[in-house]
Amino acid sequence: MILYELIDYSTLKMIWWLLLGVLLIGFAVTDGFDMGVGALLPFVGETDVERRVAINTIGATWEGNQVWFILGGGAIFAAWPPLYAISFSGFYLAMFVVLAAMILRPVAFKYRSKRPDPEWRNRWDWALFTGSFVPALVFGVAVGNVLLGVPFTLDPDLRMTYEGSFFGLFSPFSLLCGLLSVCMLVMHGGAWLGMRAGGVVAERGRRYGSFAAIGAIVLFGLGGFLIANGFVDGQRITSDIDPNMPANPLWKTAVIEDGAWMANYAAHPILWLAPALGFLGAFGALVGLQTRYEKLTFLCSKLSVFGIISTVGVSMFPFLLPSSVQPDASLTVWDSASSHATLFNMLVATIIFLPIILVYTAWVYKVLWGKVDEKTIERDNETAY
């Protein structure tokens, strides 16, 4: 049965590049505000009840949101195996830090309010903060490193050697990306709290969210400036591009080139929409946080997240993970995908299940919708987180 030949291989690679974006953006838009709320927790909640207000705006839904992260891992494994293998083993210790932080988070949600003891709750609040702030930072740092190029090599058996170190991940540019990621998600979390929390928690959420929105605009602009002005080198494929080529990164050649991350914008000016959306969304969110169009504010924040992540994707296309020491080994959309059959099978599964997921997730949010304030917590003292 060769059903998969209905869609040709190069098209499937493109579709899976777009779906990779959908997954990352889905993760950042949904779990992103959970992380934003977690990172804001010590600042928006001074008393126990205030903190519980913040936590319970996301208490019933964080778990579903987190699946975007897990699905992201699984889908990258299935559709882009070399990307999964090289990035996770290359960033080994950083990945461990993210994992440890993200393991703390679910447990903190569930266990925090099982005991009235303030010390107990305080410790879990710190776990929630760490479990939100650290991944937000490290994901941004990781993206920064991807833009800079990662020091890995591939031997002819496609066995990878990573030549960098854990501390080497933290360069000024990658830290800038890390802070941008934190600001973006805190803005998103602030917009969420402004919409779903009541009273003083919402107030503080809006205030810190506004600061974060300003931070996101500034850092996003600064990052763009550095890339456009030759502080960050891009890469370009130098061999003939055959989009239907077998998935072997070593079958092409590439070079490091000043300004290559800007080439796509010159060729297709419509792509400027992505960074524009990143700025306009953040600006809209900033205005909204002051004027209280809650849902519109949250929408703007979502659009900003969408724009910022898309900017990274379209700037680098077709590169996924450039190697700074062996550019010929860089992973691109054309040479790092799964086989034709697997991409097709996975697409069928996605077309069937993703709409179903979106429908029931929307329904669950609708059922659980409503402001959470101090009265809600007092009423549901036993059952709330």
Q: Which residues bind another protein (CB under 8 A)?
A: 59-64, 66-67, 69-71, 73-79, 81-82, 84-89, 92-93, 95-96, 99-100, 102-107, 109-111, 114, 156-162, 246-248, 251, 338-339, 341-342, 345-346, 349-350, 353-354, 357, 360-361, 364, 367-368, 383
> CB of 191: closest distance to another protein in angstroms?
21
Query: Is the alpha carbon torsion for 56, 208, 27, 138 positive or negative?
Result: negative
Residues 200-216: b if buried by 16+ CB within 10 A, e if exposed: bbbebbbbbbbebbebb
> CB of 221: closest distance to another protein in angstroms?
33
C-beta of 138 vs 271, nearer to another protein: 138
C-beta of 126 vs 265, nearer to another protein: 126
Instruction: Output the 3-class SS for 322-354.
Output: CECCCHHHCEECCCCCCCHHHHHHHHHHHHHHH
Could you tell me the two tokens for 207?
């205030």
C-beta of 43 vs 84, nearer to another protein: 84
Q: Could you tell me which of 153, 314, 319, 143 has the C-alpha nearest to residue 236?
A: 319
Q: At what angle do helices 62-79 and 81-90 cross, to 10 degrees?
A: 110
Alpha-carbon 334 to chain mean position? 23
> CB of 74: closest distance to another protein in angstroms?
4
> CB of 254: closest distance to another protein in angstroms?
18
C-beta of 111 vs 170, nearer to another protein: 111
> CB of 373: closest distance to another protein in angstroms?
16
- What are the residues whose beta carbons fall under 8 Å from the beta carbon of 181, sequence distance 6 or more? 136, 137, 139, 140, 141, 143
C-beta of 34 vs 50, nearer to another protein: 34
> CB of 307: closest distance to another protein in angstroms?
25
Q: Which residues pair with 258 in a beta bridge?
A: 233
User: Is beta strand 233-237 parallel, antiparallel or unpaired with respect to 160-162?
Assistant: unpaired
> CB of 234: closest distance to another protein in angstroms?
25
Omega of the bond prior to 318 within 30 degrees of 0, cis? Answer: yes
C-beta of 75 vs 177, nearer to another protein: 75
C-beta of 276 vs 362, nearer to another protein: 362
- What are the residues whose beta carbons fall under 8 Å from the beta carbon of 30, sequence distance 6 or more? 64, 65, 68
C-beta of 308 vs 331, nearer to another protein: 331
Distance CA 260, CA 149 (A): 12
> CB of 129: closest distance to another protein in angstroms?
17
> CB of 330: closest distance to another protein in angstroms?
15
C-beta of 97 vs 200, nearer to another protein: 97
C-beta of 272 vs 365, nearer to another protein: 365
3-state secondary structure (DSSP) of residue 311 = helix
Distance CA 227, CA 44 (A): 35
Distance CA 9, CA 233 (A): 30
> CB of 345: closest distance to another protein in angstroms?
5
Quick one: CA torsion of 197, 200, 201, 204, rounded to 10 degrees?
120
Quick one: CA torsion of 249, 254, 259, 265, rounded to 10 degrees?
-60
